[in-house]
Amino acid sequence: MQDWTAPGAWEIAPDLYRIPLAMPNNGLRAVNVYAFRDGNRVTIVDSGWAVPQARAQLEEALQSIGLGLDSIDEFLITHSHSDHITLGVQLRAEFGMKLSIGKDEEPNIRAVMDHWSNGFKLNFERLRAAGAGSVADAMQARVEANPDAERMAEEFFELPDRWLQGGEVIALGRYRLRAIATPGHTRGHLVFADEDAGLIVTGDHVLPTITPSIGFEAQRNGLPLKRFLESQEAMLALADLRVLPAHGMVTDSLHARSRELIEYHEQRLDDSLAAVRGGASSALDVARAIGWTRRQRHFGELDEFNQMLAVLETVAHLDVLVDRGAADAQASDGVKSYLLA
Kindly state whether residue 238 falls inside one of the protein's structural domains. yes
Residue 4 lies in a domain: no
List the CATH number of the domain containing 213. 3.60.15.10
| 104 domain residue, yes or no | yes
% of the chain at pLDDT higher than 70 = 95
pTM of the predicted model as reported, rounded to 2 decimal places: 0.93
pLDDT in tens, 258-287: 999 999 999 999 999 999 999 999 999 999
Q: Cβ(229)–Cβ(182) under 8 Å?
A: no
The pLDDT value recorded for residue 123 is: 85
Report the alpha-carbon distance of residue 266 to residue 71 in Å, rounded. Answer: 45
- Arithmetic mean of pLDDT, 73-97: 96
User: What are 143-197's pLDDT values in tens digits?
Assistant: 776 555 445 545 678 999 999 999 999 999 999 999 999 999 999 999 999 999 9
Query: In the prediction, which pLDDT does 155 show?
Result: 65
Please state the domain count of the chain: 1
Query: Mean pLDDT in the chain?
Result: 93
CA distance 83 to 246: 9
Residue 308 falls inside a structural domain: no
| C-beta neighbour count of 293 within 10 angstroms | 12
Domain assignment of residue 169, yes or no:
yes
Q: What is the mean pLDDT of residues 80-84?
A: 93
- The whole domain housing 16 covers 10-112+152-261
Q: Does the structure show a pLDDT above 50 at 42?
A: yes
Q: Residue 221 has what pLDDT?
A: 81
Strands 242-245, 199-203: pairing kind: parallel
Separation CA 341–CA 328 (nearest Å): 5
Q: Which residue has the higher pLDDT, 82 or 327?
A: 327
Is 309 within the bounds of a domain? no
- The string of pLDDT tens digits covering residues 286-335 is 999 999 988 889 999 999 889 999 999 999 999 999 999 999 999 988 89
Classify residue 193: in a domain, yes or no.
Answer: yes
Check: CB of residue 207 under 8 Å from CB of residue 111. no
Residue among 5, 10, 41 nearest 20 (CA): 5
- Quick check: is 329 in a domain? no
CA distance readout (Å), 77 to 160, 216, 277, 306: 9, 18, 41, 25
Task: Quote the percentage of the chain above a pLDDT of 90.
Answer: 79
Is residue 202 within 8 Å of 243, Cβ to Cβ?
Answer: yes
